[in-house]
Amino acid sequence: MAELTVADLLAWEPRLRLPETHSAPDMGTNHLAPRASADLEREISWAVTVRASAPMLPALRGGEVVLLPKRVVSEAGIALPDLLRELARHPLAAVVSDITPPPEAPVPVLVLVTELIPADFESEINRLLTERRGDLYRAGTELERVITALTAAGEDLARVLAATAGSIDIPAAVVDARGAVLALSAPRMRLPSGLTPRDGWRDGWLSLGLSGERRLVLGPIAAERRALARLIANRVASAVEAALSRAAASRPRGQARIETLTTLLTSTGQPDEAAALASTLGLPVDGAFRVALASPSLGSGALGQALAPYGRMHDAGMIDGAVAALIEGWGGLPANDQTPSPSVHSRDCPRQPTLPGVSSSPGEKPPRWLAISGPVRGPAALPEAGRQARFVAVLLARGALPGPVARFDAPGDLGAYGLFYHLWGEAALEQFAAAALGDIASHDRRGTLRQTLLAYLTSGGSHTLAAKELGIHRNTLAYRLKLITKLTGRDPTDPAMRLPLHLALLATALPPVPLTN
């Protein structure tokens, strides 16, 4: 890549601009005509001034910015188009003039905003170029020092990206062939859509190819910092490649990978700890994920068949006695959001998987079920997704949900149990249930009264339906309801009492919170 270009000079010297026939350059040059874009990328060396007498120019070695003052053109008595054609025969970078050039000038012409080119303008331009070259040299030297220290310490990709980007004050990211982000230099960095798969610039972003169809993306880059980005891009890419190689060599495989993923999904550590674990597994930092738990009778093969259409599946071993998997790329998750709205789920999420060979008929032994978490963004949220899946799984395993498939983010799947998730295992929920049910627990050791109460409330307060469900006479049902009223202090036949009693019964049916890492 060129060290300094015409575009850099335009960005650094506010008195220069393109003629009106061109668009003004910004951080990228994609919107310019092909020739104008190529002209801006010409490499520049120094500034020289045309003289009125022979020799009109010093010896040119290439890349010069030639200053062509109006007074020189007048004194030489040569028409501007003829002068420009003569200059075009030399390997110069651009011409700076205080005369408006013809529309089809044979060389790039930059127009001076002020009326006339000052006598010391050549010195000013050369002083500017010298200072900027010195700045670039110092920035490159400091970056080399940072990279050397990172390499010696064997730092991971996230640390390498953050440290190198911090050194040059240019955000950076690494993406894979699918566009999934593997690492970001800053947590809130947002990449533009439609990044080019080729090396080069696009609207202020610089993209470089890495091994394995991955890409290093730098940006957004202000116009005045493009020279720095060109200078350091390959050095940063080399440091990233080394970090990727170290990560690939140390990445757990086989059973070790499964155990690491199990630990991640069942952990309660800080987000940074979860992100660090996910980094060792090579999970994308902005990926959309769900966690799935299935009954042991289903088996990992059938689980993989059921989930294959919905994303890339990672084997997570066994969690709470259930077959576990991480699904990467499941749809329905808005960008940069860990808590999608219900409307998003109902509109964008795929239909629930069907389980091969599953019958939802009552009494099937052993029952088959599939519990699926809500969607989360990024590996740091995977422990929460794991907890959601475990919550749904224990309800399915106990027969509290009809199944055979239940999704945490589908209100119709969880019913009232969805209200208890954030209170699961909390003393406040236990206290509510104990207060609502009174002494029924101590007098109902076999659970007959609680089963009766649940059947009655589930039937909507119908004596006929409840008695039929329980297989008892209506008089027996009436007797039990009176006993329940005495023990709880609440009459289940009173419509105002049905909701707190029903919620309390459901709360007592929740299993203990499973162990975490």
Mean pLDDT of the chain: 83
Position 334 pLDDT exceeds 60? no
Domain match, 291 and 407 both: yes
Residue 36 pLDDT: 65
- pLDDT band, very low/low/confident/very high, at 135 (cuts 50, 70, 90): very high
Domain match, 113 and 133 both: no
User: Which residue type, as a one-letter code, is found at position 279?
Assistant: S
Residue 338 pLDDT: 40
Residue 203 pLDDT: 84
Domain match, 30 and 70 both: yes
Residue 345 pLDDT: 39
Give domain status of residue 366, yes or no: yes
Q: What is the DSSP letter of 404?
A: S
Q: What is the dihedral of CA 198, 199, 202, 207, to 10 degrees?
A: 110
What three-state secondary structure class fits 207?
A: strand
Position 406 pLDDT exceeds 80? yes
Domain match, 115 and 132 both: no
Residue 318 pLDDT: 92
Residue 47 pLDDT: 94
Domain match, 300 and 381 both: yes
How many of the other CB atoms lie within 10 Å of CB of 506?
19
Q: Per the structure, how many domains does the chain have? A: 4
Domain end (from 119, 141, 171)? 119
- What CATH number is associated with residue 162? 3.30.450.40
Domain match, 485 and 417 both: no
The pLDDT tens digits of the residues spanning 70-87 come to: 888 888 888 888 888 888
- What CATH number is associated with residue 471? 1.10.10.2840
Give domain status of residue 267, yes or no: no
Token pair 């954030």: residue: 422
Burial state string for 100-135 with b = 16 or more CB within 10 A and e = fewer than 16: ebeeebebbbbbbeeeebeeebbeebeeebeebeee
Domain end (from 119, 149, 178)? 119
Residue 29 pLDDT: 44
Give domain status of residue 61, yes or no: yes
- pLDDT band, very low/low/confident/very high, at 362 (cuts 50, 70, 90): low
Give domain status of residue 269, yes or no: no
Give domain status of residue 418, yes or no: yes
Query: Cis omega (within 30 of 0) on the bond before 55?
Result: yes
Domain match, 151 and 244 both: yes
Tell me what the mean pLDDT of segment 352-376 comes to. 68
Domain match, 451 and 479 both: yes
Give domain status of residue 164, yes or no: yes
Tell me what the mean pLDDT of segment 354-374 comes to. 67
Q: Which of 101-105, 151-155, 201-205, 268-272 has the highest mean pLDDT?
A: 151-155
Domain match, 146 and 237 both: yes
- pLDDT band, very low/low/confident/very high, at 322 (cuts 50, 70, 90): very high
Give domain status of residue 502, yes or no: yes
% residues pLDDT > 70 (the chain): 88
Domain extent, residue 216, equals 128-250
Tell me what the mean pLDDT of segment 251-261 comes to. 90
Tell me what the mean pLDDT of segment 191-219 comes to. 84
Domain match, 416 and 432 both: no
Give ∠ CA 503-509-512 in degrees, rounded to 5. Answer: 120
The reply to whether the predicted model has a pTM over 0.75 is no
64 or 188, greater pLDDT: 64
